[in-house]
């Protein structure tokens, strides 16, 4: 990887001390241009991963981490981009595989990808009002009505939400290879009274 060429072309890019791969903090406004440059000029032809992050003690707290791979040289590069108003530019036009990664980051963190061709939620239902992987989201979750009326109408059954499976998980002690983690709250597996 030609670090000097990248930092000269994009002067706001900062080379960070990555322990496992070359890592850069990039200006979010330049994110798509940097990803395109790395693909076209430096051979990083595969987007291996894109995920949202919530750094509790940083401002801004939301950001995106992208891992790119140069398949010819077998070399990775990591990009960190902080969100501006919870938004960053999409890279799905450059790497189409980013499409679902960006939708998941929107769904779980509320990060908006400017220019994304299909910015719908991918895991939660469209009307779900929260983003569950944000640090301010409670560990036990937030109860909301589950929109399963269509399922109930088709099956003729009453739809009950799945029980919360407790948490956080704890170990019963000893070596981890022999210990099965268990939830603090085991009420989900208790017999329910028949009505």
pLDDT in tens, 20-29: 999 999 999 9
Check residue 155 and give its pLDDT.
Answer: 46
Give domain status of residue 73, yes or no: yes
pLDDT digits (tens, 9 = 90+) for 36-48: 999 999 999 999 9
Evaluate whether residue 186 is within a structural domain: no
Question: SS3 letters for the chain?
Answer: CCHHHHHHHCCCCEEECCCCCEEEEECHHHHHHHHHHHHHHHCCCEEEEEEEEECCCCCCCEEEEEEEEECCCCEEEEEEEECECCEEECCCCCCCCHHHHHHHHHHHHCCEEECCCCCCCCCCCCCCCCCCCCCCCCCCCCCCCCCCHHHHHHHCCCCCCCCCCCCCEECCCCCHHHCCCEECCCHHHCCCCCC
Mean pLDDT lowest among 13-17, 66-70, 121-125, 157-161: 157-161
pLDDT for residue 152: 46
Percent of the chain with pLDDT over 70: 74
The domain total for the chain is 1
Whether residue 150 is contained in a domain is answered as no
The residue range of the domain holding 23 is 3-138
Q: Is 158 exposed, middle or buried (0-12, 13-18, 19+ CB in 10 A)?
A: exposed
- What is the CATH number for 66? 3.30.460.80
User: For residue 40, is it within any domain?
Assistant: yes
For residue 7, count CB atoms less than 10 angstroms from its CB and return exposed for 0-12, middle for 13-18, buried for 19 or more.
Answer: middle
pLDDT tens per residue, range 131-145? 999 998 888 888 877
Check residue 28 and give its pLDDT: 96
Choose between 50 and 194: higher pLDDT: 50
In a domain, 127, yes or no: yes
- Section 74-99 average pLDDT: 96
Q: What are phi and psi of 60, to 5 degrees?
A: -70, 155
Over its C-alpha atoms, the chain yields an Rg (Å, rounded) of 21
- Whether 157 and 138 have beta carbons less than 8 Å apart is answered as no
Report the distance separating Cα 101 and Cα 123, nearest Å: 11
| 42 domain-assigned | yes
Residue 145 lies in a domain: no
> Is residue 11 situated within a structural domain?
yes
At residue 168, the pLDDT reads 52
38-42, 102-106, 172-176: the lowest-pLDDT one: 172-176
């Amino acid at each position: 990887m030609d670090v000097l060429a990248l930092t000269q072309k994009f002067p706001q890019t900062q080379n960070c001390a990555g322990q496992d791969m070359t890592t850069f903090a990039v200006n979010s406004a330049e994110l798509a241009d940097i990803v395109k440059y790395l693909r076209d000029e430096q051979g990083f032809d595969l987007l291996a991963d894109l995920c949202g992050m919530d750094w509790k003690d940083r401002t801004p707290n939301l950001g995106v981490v992208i891992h790119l791979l140069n398949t010819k040289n077998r070399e990775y590069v990591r990009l960190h981009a902080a969100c501006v108003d919870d938004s960053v530019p999409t890279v799905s036009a450059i790497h189409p595989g980013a499409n679902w990664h960006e939708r998941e980051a929107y769904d779980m963190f509320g990060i908006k990808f400017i220019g994304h061709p299909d910015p719908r939620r991918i895991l939660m239902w469209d009307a779900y009002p929260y983003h569950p992987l944000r640090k301010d989201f409670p560990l036990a979750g937030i109860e909301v009505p589950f929109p399963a009326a269509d399922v109930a109408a088709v099956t003729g059954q009453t739809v009950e939400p799945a029980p919360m499976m407790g948490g956080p998980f704890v170990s019963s002690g000893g070596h981890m290879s022999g210990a099965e983690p268990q939830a603090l709250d085991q009420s989900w597996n208790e017999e329910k009274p028949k009505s």
